[in-house]
Amino acid sequence: MNFPVCVERSYLYKHVVTLSETDQFRHLSYANYLKLVYVVTDLFFLPMMDPAFLAKVRFKVINSRMEFRRQTEAGSHILIQMNALNLQDSGFDLVYQFMIEETRKELALAQQRYALINPENQQPVLIPESVKKLLGAIAVDQGQIHFNNRKVREWI
């Protein structure tokens, strides 16, 4: 008997919320969640980000959205799970699931659409094979990602 095997990989980033990241309401502010989105993304692509590569390809954020489900405080250990989806010739989406590391309770869900462009003439460029391979390793289907707001879902 054959059993279907489904392997899904994600890029995982662990973070401890510091006091400096919280505001007078003692929670991680929404802007700092977005800051973490960019930290995780940059780290994921860091190995290929040399000046020669960056001179040919710019990863440009076109759209961004995030839903916040729970608040978190200084000292919380959080896990950010990043996956790729909607891989196209000149663009892709990244989705980020924020959760409490211990309990896996959802904190937030974010999605960003990137376009790859030539930094000199701002024209679309095809995704390099190296990038395609990297994203393919963490690819998931859009159907697996559930934003609560239906109208927001239409944005995709």
Partner 1 sequence: MDLETGRTKIPGTHREFDFDNITVFFKHTDYYGFVHPYNYFEWMGYAREAFFQELVPNFLEVINRKIKMVTSNVQLRILRDAQFGTRIKVRIYSQRVKRVSYEVVFNFYDQEGNILLAEGLQRLSFLDEATNEPAPIPAELKKVILLHEKK
Note whether 58 binds partner 1 by CB under 8 A.
Answer: yes
CB 85 within 8 A of CB 142: yes
Give the residue carrying structure tokens 């995982």.
12
Note whether 65 binds partner 1 by CB under 8 A.
Answer: yes
Which of 10, 15, 71, 139 touches partner 1 by CB under 8 A?
A: 71
CB 116 within 8 A of CB 125: yes
Q: Segment contacting partner 1 (CB under 8 A): 66-74, 88-96, 99-107, 130-138? A: 66-74
Q: Of 29 and 81, which CB lies nearer to partner 1 in the complex structure?
A: 29
Which of 6, 31, 46, 52 touches partner 1 by CB under 8 A?
A: 31
Q: Of 2 and 121, which CB lies nearer to partner 1 in the complex structure?
A: 121
Q: Segment contacting partner 1 (CB under 8 A): 53-61, 79-87, 89-97, 126-134? A: 53-61
CB 141 within 8 A of CB 127: no
Nearest Cα neighbor of 23 from 73, 80, 58, 69 is 73
Q: Segment contacting partner 1 (CB under 8 A): 3-11, 25-33, 99-107, 134-142? A: 25-33
Element (H, E) at 138: none
Which residues neighbour 105 within 8 Å (Cβ) at sequence distance 6 or greater?
A: 70, 99
Using CA atoms, how far apart are residues 19 and 73, in angstroms rounded to an integer? 8
Which residues neighbour 52 within 8 Å (Cβ) at sequence distance 6 or greater?
A: none
Which of 67, 101, 128, 145 touches partner 1 by CB under 8 A?
A: 67
List residues binding partner 1 (CB under 8 A).
Answer: 25, 29-31, 34-35, 38, 54, 58, 60-68, 71, 119, 149, 152, 155
